[in-house]
Amino acid sequence: QSVLTQPPSASGTPGQRVTISCSGSSSNIGSNYVYWYQQLPGTAPKLLISSNNQRPSGVPDRFSGSKSGTSASLAISGLRSEDEADYYCATWDDNLRGAVFGGGTQLTVL
Amino acid sequence: QVQLQQWGAGRLKPSETLSLTCAVYGGSFTGYYWSWIRQPPGKGLEWIGEISHTGSTNYNPSLKSRVTISLDTSKNQFSLKLTSVTAADTAVYYCTRRLRYWGQGTLVTVSS
């Protein structure tokens, strides 16, 4: 049972825009930055979004993040076949005094 | 560019102690928190704990009784020890600088 709630799956066709949601509480998303990761099979999570909406160097601007209250979202526009992966949200939790994660969303490009 | 490189034993027997080390390259060791995160096969991510550059630690309550994170500032390295491992501890273990920079991961398998 993950602290942050993500849909287990999402899908879209090439060129579409898809969004993945991440729901938490006031002790985590509500008061801390949200991070988003892309994980391809057999590889370490790759940072896509930090500090709610900041893209590290090298991440395409097709990826964007937003946060409102105790929820956050990752949007992927111009969907491509190589975007097929697992996506995780993460943040800090003030009660746990540690990092917490969503359960992950498996994105399928149809 | 910050890089984390980790190593350690990949196969353990039940009741043994897991030991991993992570070296930090290309950035300052001081002023940051250094963490360990794990991912069981086919499952999600779990935060294990962290240590500050001053040695202050914080652990996941579910693992606290078995976990020790330490650091060697002279080598820009930090380490994880997890005692009395069981099959449930089988996972890929990652060292990280909080949530921003990640090591390559080490698969640790616990099996008799």
Question: Which of B44, B47, B105 has its CB closest to that of A99?
Answer: B47
How far apart (Å, rounded) are the C-alpha atoms in residues B48 and B68? 10
| Share above pLDDT 70 across residues of chain B, in percent, rounded to a whole number | 100
Single-letter residue type at B64: K
Question: If you count residue pairs, one on A and one on B, with CB atoms under 8 Å apart, how many are there?
Answer: 46
How far is residue A94 CA from its own chain's centroid? 20
B-chain residues near A35 (CB < 8 A): 99-100
Tens-place pLDDT, residues A30-51: 999 999 999 999 899 999 999 9
The answer to whether the CB atoms of A101 and B98 lie below 8 A apart is no
With b meaning 16 or more CB within 10 Å and e meaning fewer, what string describes A45-78?
bebbbbebbebeeebeeebbbebeebbbbbebee
Average pLDDT over residues A94-109: 96
pLDDT at residue B29, rounded to an integer: 81
Tens-place pLDDT, residues B18-73: 999 999 998 788 889 999 999 999 999 999 999 998 999 999 999 999 999 999 98
Provide the token pair at B93.
């273990």
Tens-place pLDDT, residues A66-99: 999 999 999 999 999 999 999 999 999 999 999 9
